[in-house]
Amino acid sequence: MQGLSVLGATGSIGMSTLDIVRRHPQKFRVISLSANQRVEQMHALCLEFKPQTVVMVDASAAEQLKLMLMQSGDHQIQVQQGEQSLLDLVKAPDVDIVMAAIVGASGLLPTLEAVKADKKVLLANKEALVTSGQIFIDALHASKATLLPIDSEHNAIFQCLPKGMQDSVGHGAITDYGISKILLTGSGGPFRTLPLEQFDTITPEQACAHPNWDMGQKISVDSATMMNKGLEFIEAKWLFNLSADDIQVVLHPQSTIHSMVQYKDGSVLAQMGNPDMRTPIAHAMAYPERIDAGVQAFDFFNCQSFQFAQADFERYPNLKLAIDACRAGQGACTALNAANEIAVAAFLAKQIKFTDIAKINAEVMQSFLTTDVRSIEDVLRLDQEARKQASSQVDWLKENS
């Protein structure tokens, strides 16, 4: 029986994780849950999974949850509040596995804390790795933690790697294993064929309606701009110790192949299946075992034909920015991620246009292109500065459009 802590329990990944627990109560026990604000959903999770501790980052949400638990007669569950409490949550001795599924750079410190506490860390929160890169990987090296990728592409790549590479996440050398390329697939999102002149009028509702995956709002918008693929490009660099030249983005609209590894003898290994995040989550939770994830087997006789294409940077300028950031260095990556979080939130709030996201991202990234980042304090400082710059650009656009 493994003890589990779920960061971001009320989100799309959090809920899929808890569905795996539901299917395997003899294997996993929920020790703690955390979320930001969604009290009613968390209350329902408390009643079902009976965690020892819950953190609601938002203070009033925590107070509300305490009240609701008292009313439902649950006096055992400890409710805490604030970001600091997340750090204690992941360190608890009963916790073996930490699902890092907070969205955005807010997930960085608790995820890093789980690594430092030698836990088995399941990384969904790609922004944590994008913003801190080498610092995160160094912390992983210095610890006895295991890091397993949840992002479907990185989980697919992991599954297609030889055991030696799987055992050395963050530092294995692909050339030692005859690997010539990592092929990172992406669907192209909902606007793959939309005429470019209509991009200015894209609404948040349209951007969040992904053709293949059901996800949180932020990552849905990132998928529509393909910033998600860009963040994944940077994530892949760090997870598999790659250079930008080792990674090729491949558009694959059906999202059946979740990514591939190409070997120098010409072999290409792909991981496939229906697009359901419970597959990579179950894979990582049980690794190296295999368990039922509740996902239907792929039906080869009733499927669309597979298509592949190159990504067009005119359609997806954010993908280009992220690849440029990956080549430029940590300052650019941290700034780009921060700017993007602000820009996407402003787009979701209908304050700016879909096409403004890339404009804000480009401007902010440019300001920090050569900024040196050596410590987590540097990361946090730069993240804040980039957010400030992006917010003032949002204000300017609100007033001038």
Residues that bind Mg ion (CB under 5 A): 151-153
Nearest-approach distance from CB 70 to Mg ion, in angstroms: 40
Nearest-approach distance from CB 153 to Mg ion, in angstroms: 5
Residue at token pair 């008292």: 70
The answer to whether the CB of 42 falls within 8 A of the CB of 9 is yes
Segment 47 to 86, residues that bind ligand NAD, using CB under 6 A: 57
- Nearer to ligand NAD by Cβ, of 259 and 371: the residue is 259
Residue type, 36: N
Q: Which of Mg ion, ligand NAD, none does 277 bind, CB closer than 5 to 8 A by kind?
A: ligand NAD
When binding is defined by CB under 6 A, the residue of 62, 115, 151, 368 that contacts ligand NAD is 151
The answer to whether the CB of 373 falls within 8 A of the CB of 335 is no
Hey, what are 272's tokens?
A: 């496939």
Rounded to whole angstroms, the Cα distance separating 16 from 19 reads: 5
Q: Is 184 in the site for ligand NAD (CB under 6 A)?
A: no
- Nearer to ligand NAD by Cβ, of 17 and 393: the residue is 17
Number of residues located near ligand NAD, criterion CB under 6 A:
27
When binding is defined by CB under 6 A, the residue of 3, 4, 12, 133 that contacts ligand NAD is 12
Burial category of 18 from C-beta neighbours within 10 Å (exposed 0-12, middle 13-18, buried 19 and up): buried
Q: Is 102 in the site for ligand NAD (CB under 6 A)?
A: yes
Residue 389: CA count within 13 A, CB half-sphere: 22
Hey, what are 79's tokens?
A: 């409710």
Pick from 84, 125, 122: nearest CA to 102:
125
- Nearer to Mg ion by Cβ, of 5 and 223: the residue is 223
Nearest-approach distance from CB 185 to Mg ion, in angstroms: 9
Rounded to whole angstroms, the Cα distance separating 30 from 25 reads: 9
Q: Which of ligand NAD, Mg ion, none does 10 bind, CB closer than 5 to 8 A by kind?
A: ligand NAD
Contact string 105-124 vs ligand NAD (x = CB under 6 A): -x-----------------x
The answer to whether the CB of 367 falls within 8 A of the CB of 332 is no
Segment 367 to 396, residues that bind ligand NAD, using CB under 6 A: none
Rounded to whole angstroms, the Cα distance separating 10 from 81 reads: 15
Rounded to whole angstroms, the Cα distance separating 181 from 184 reads: 9
- Nearer to ligand NAD by Cβ, of 125 and 259: the residue is 125
Contact positions vs ligand NAD (CB under 6 A): 8-14, 35-36, 38, 57, 101-103, 106, 124-127, 151, 213, 215-219, 277
